[in-house]
Amino acid sequence: MSPGNPEPGTAGTDLHMHSTASDGALPPAELVHRAAALGVSRLALTDHDTTAGVAEAVRAGEAAGVEVVAGVELSTLWCGREIHVVGLGMAHHPVFDQGLAYQQQQRWQRAEAIADRLHKRGLPGALQGVAGDGERAPGRSHFADWLVAQGAVRDRPQAFKRYLGRQGSAWVRPAWVSLDTGVRWIRLAGGIAVLAHPFAYRMTGAWRRRLCTAFVEAGGEAVEVVTGRTTPVQVRDGIGLALRHGLLASAGSDFHAPGTGLEPGRLLPLPDAVAPVSQLVRDHRDGGPGRAASGAPGIRPR
Ligand code: MN
Ligand code: MN
Ligand code: MN
């Protein structure tokens, strides 16, 4: 890995965003079109615990001249904390695919348990309210929106405070895969594991360094240095984490919906001090050196 940035700048690259395949507001093709209109030429669709939207995004990207990388954002557990791991550039692999099926099952079981708790608190019908067409598993933000629509709460933050958050009355402890196993799934499918939004977790700097050490030991290769919400101070601290732990740097908006203040590709620049993960994704997709056999072009329609 050469020091410095092998790709002059990472403008136009956004490696973290969501569609209606999980809790995003835009269908994959619309998301790609919005990103293209905002100057994004390369993106990863990273829905929560699913790659169901990737095929549509790839097709839309081919038509719009946007390179679409197969992505995912896994919810994992490490030391009792929920840690998100972005995977980039996976191909289909039975262990990875079964892993996603397990995570989806956990999401449905958690949704049923949340709905039960809400029912006991006088709010029946939540599961039907959040199930949609049954294609994508409901997440807590779907419940939050349902609670707002019911008039039970004012807004999403209040929904999390009163019901869905750790202190809320409908809190359900998730049974996500472990961090180690989640990283292993991504690697088995030929993907690169990225520690998502390292400053979004409530933990001390010492715990964050422990987390990075565990992530590297598990096979993680990159850390998200820039997200749509990252401050300049956090970019500096993120670079510090990347250098200290030998991780590549990733940048992704974590865009979910228009009108939230985040937009595809709207990111602080990734400093030259660290190597961007995007180069590795490209080498890997082209079957370049240093990566295991697959050289797969990413997940495509079967
Ligand atoms: Mn989300
Ligand atoms: Mn996340
Ligand atoms: Mn995300």
Amino acid 281: pLDDT: 76
Task: Point out the least confidently predicted range of 12-21, 92-101, 129-138, 217-226.
Answer: 129-138
Task: Give the mean model confidence (pLDDT) for residues 283-298.
Answer: 48
CA of 147 to the centre of ligand 3 (A): 22
CA of 227 to the centre of ligand 3 (A): 10
For domain 10-100+178-294, which architecture applies? Alpha-Beta Barrel (3.20)
Task: Point out the least confidently predicted range of 132-146, 177-191, 243-257.
Answer: 132-146
How far is the CA of 196 from the CAs of 124, 128, 210, 211, 261, in angstroms?
35, 31, 15, 12, 19
Summary mean pLDDT of the chain = 90
Phi, psi torsion values for 110, nearest 5 degrees: -65, -40
Amino acid 135: pLDDT: 85
CA of 302 to the centre of ligand 3 (A): 25
Of the candidates 221, 165, 230, which has an alpha carbon nearest to the alpha carbon of residue 194?
221
Over residues 159-198, the pLDDT tens digits come to: 999 999 999 999 999 899 999 999 999 999 999 999 999 9
How far is the CA of 190 from the CAs of 16, 30, 97, 236, in angstroms?
18, 27, 12, 30
Tell me how crowded residue 232 is: count the other CB atoms within 10 A of its CB.
8
CA of 24 to the centre of ligand 1 (A): 7
Amino acid 277: pLDDT: 87
Amino acid 280: pLDDT: 74
Amino acid 285: pLDDT: 59
Instruction: Compute the distance between CA of residue 271 and CA of residue 4 in angstroms, rounded to an integer.
Output: 9
Question: With pLDDT > 70 as the criterion, what percentage of the chain qualifies?
Answer: 90
pTM (predicted TM-score): 0.90
Amino acid 299: pLDDT: 54
Cβ atoms of residues 75 and 49 within 8 Å: yes
Structural domain boundaries of the chain?
10-100+178-294
CA of 289 to the centre of ligand 2 (A): 30
Q: Is the pLDDT of residue 1 over 50?
A: no
Of the candidates 178, 266, 276, which has an alpha carbon nearest to the alpha carbon of residue 218?
178
Over residues 19-39, the pLDDT tens digits come to: 999 999 999 999 999 999 999
Residue 10 banded pLDDT, cuts 50, 70, 90: low
Cβ atoms of residues 159 and 142 within 8 Å: no
The ligand with the least distance to the CA atom of 256 is: 1
CA of 122 to the centre of ligand 3 (A): 31
